[in-house]
Amino acid sequence: MKGPHHPPRLSTPLRRLLLLLLPLGLVVVIWQAAQVAREQALQTLVREAENELRLSAAGLEGHLTRNDYLPQLLASREMVQRFLLNPGQQDAMPLNLLLDQFRATANVSDVYLLDDQANTLAASNWHRPNTFIGQNYAFRSYYQDAIAGGRGRFYGLGVQSLERGYYFSAPVWLEDTAPDARPSGVMVIKILLDSVEESWAEQDAVLMVTDKDDIIFMASHPELRMAALYPLSEEERQTLLATRRYADEPLSPSGIDIQEQRPDGSRLVSFQSGPLAEGGFLGVTRHMEAYDWDMHILKPLDSVHNAQWFSALLAGGLYGMVTLAGGAGWQRLRLRRERELFAERERQTLAKARDELERNVALRTRDLLETNRLLSDEIEERRRAEANLRQTQDELVQAAKLAVLGQLAAGINHELNQPLAAIRAYAENARAFLERQRIEAADANLAQVVELTERMAEISAQLRQFSRKSDSSLTTVSVQACFDYALRLYQNRLRDVDVIRHWDEEVWVHADLVRLEQVLVNLIGNALQAMTESSEPKLILSAEIAAGNVRIGVSDTGPGIPEPYLSRIFEPFFTTKSPGSGLGLGLSISARIIKDLGGEIEAGNQPVAGASFTIILPRVKRPDTSLPSPTQEQQSHA
């Protein structure tokens, strides 16, 4: 019989080589994963930058061009042309006010009028210390383009205000039919760029706009404005200063440093100084053909660095897992034989233990089955008990409603007796009129009979609606509609009672219509019974919105509830009425209904006199008025 076979062990040189290759492989895997993650993150960042740059460029173009029609419109105004006919003999104040009015309406910075010699005759800022009136702008290209008969555009710093702006100009023609006609003046508007830059500041990026000379005249960071994208030579600086486009600004270099030019046209840049010197950026440029500008966006590289770190850690973790798995496999190979031998020795012991375990499991299974059967019986018994309890509660609620109907019987009897007596009188009159061939008089009496029968049907419908059973479904219910229904049931007893309503708008709650109506009928009935001895009975109804709930109040001016009874007022069979006047179940059932609806009911006394009951239910929004509400459907059905 052969002895146990053991796998060969690694030699010492091979073990040393393996220990050298493992960390080297870890470094290579981490570096490669970081490079792949960096490239993917940069591509994603480039797409985001291009989208943001496209939207920002469109917004800038829209801001600049929405008022380009205004100079031509003002140049055609009769007041402007009449003023240019003889400017020295006219008062410029009306024209100044007109230009200021157009400035405020169009929301631009300034509007001003130049004569054919580029002297400012009228301006919207006539009342400011730095007014344009009296200044000559012949050196501005917008004047030169407009006086030549075209429409001018110009951007730069204002000579007087030193504010960056964009200028639109149009010629003012007094005679344009002659072949050698020349404009008599130039109308100019100026638009500030601050609002656009403020919107850029909200983005997680740096936005800049440069002209053909690489001068940053717009930027989301104030430190970059009026700076040269790249250092200028002395000749270039003197040329720009001579144009007066940027006044006397030093045009210092921005300090940008291009670190890598990518194949897709983007760049990796950083700043040598300034507030942006601490981090790197991905730069993307978009040319604005209409203005000969370049718009740049610089996106921080934080997401790229995070992606590199995450990928490096993930790759290192995977490499470690693979290495550990390889070591575990090797160790498993070595221990496999030992386990087989150990398993052979323990097989008999495990067989005995298995037989013993099976016997114990069989005994425990029988006990578990018996316990499960007893538990199932107990659950079924509890389910039947809950069903009986629910049925008993519904029958008790219905019995309480029938008890209220009994209390309403006297008033309903009086309401029905009056129409019946009137019907009899009208019917006898109709017969007499028919015998006399007075058809129209008989028809009028019969119409009164029909109207009285409809009134009796309405009274009967109210009783049938109140006595119906609830389907226990929660819907959107109008509190005011429930109050109106309850008041209609007591309309005979309310003739001498002052009903006061406190609500400004219709309020809706999440409840069961039938049960909420029953609670309000019980509370109003109790209030009316409490005020039988009151000299000035007042029934106060309210519906208030508080913290997402609706507080429904029913108050009276009766004697109120004695303080010792307030804590027991909702107990079953507790009543303060005289014997034979009630069973003391109305408030108990009402409290149970409100609790089932997910609300609360409170009882108390008013500061002067009388009891007060408050119902708190969840508030819901008003339902769609194009569809009938559940309250309307059930009332119309009743």
The alpha carbon dihedral of 492, 503, 507, 598 has a sign of: negative
Helix (H, G, I), strand (E, B) or coil at 326: helix
- Whether 23 has a pLDDT exceeding 90, the answer reads no
- The whole-angstrom separation of Cα 310 and Cα 308 is 5
- Of 282 and 426, which is predicted with more confidence? 282
pLDDT at 139 > cutoff 60: yes
By CB atoms closer than 10 A (0-12, 13-18, 19+), residue 370 is: exposed
Instruction: Return the structure tokens found at 79.
Output: 């007041």
Question: Residue 445 half-sphere exposure, CB side, CA atoms within 13 Å?
Answer: 18
Is the pLDDT at 2 greater than 50? The verdict is no
The tens digit of pLDDT for each residue in 509-564 reads 999 888 888 899 889 988 988 888 888 899 999 999 888 899 999 999 988 888 88
Q: Which of 31, 624, 565 is nearest to 315 (CA)?
A: 31
Confidence bin at 418 (pLDDT 50/70/90): low
Closest CA to 617 of 541, 515, 509: 509
pLDDT band, residue 392 (cuts 50/70/90): low
287, two tokens: 């040319």
pLDDT of residue 440: 86
Q: Please, which pLDDT band fits residue 187 given cuts at 50, 70 and 90? A: very high
Residues of the chain within CATH 3.30.565.10 domain(s) are: 472-637
Q: Give the mean model confidence (pLDDT) for residues 157-173.
A: 85
Query: What CA–CA distance (Å, rounded) separates 362 from 341?
Result: 32
- DSSP state letter for 119: B
> Tokens 């160790």 — which residue?
331
Average pLDDT over residues 569-596: 75
For the domain 472-637, what is the CATH superfamily, name and number?
Answer: Histidine kinase-like ATPase, C-terminal domain (3.30.565.10)
Domain with CATH 3.30.450.20 in the chain: 70-192, 197-303
Q: How far apart are CA 370 and CA 170, in angstroms?
A: 100
- pLDDT higher than threshold 50 for residue 144: yes
Please give the pLDDT value at position 633.
Answer: 39
CA separation for the pair 256, 280 (Å, rounded):
10
Residue 609 has φ and ψ, to the nearest 5°, of -160, 150
Whether 554 contacts 520, CB under 8 Å: yes
Give the CATH class of 70-192: alpha beta
Q: Which superfamily does CATH assign the domain made up of 197-303 to? A: PAS domain (3.30.450.20)
Query: Which candidate, 440, 445, 448, places its Cα nearest to that of 430?
Result: 445
| Structure tokens, 402 | 């029938």
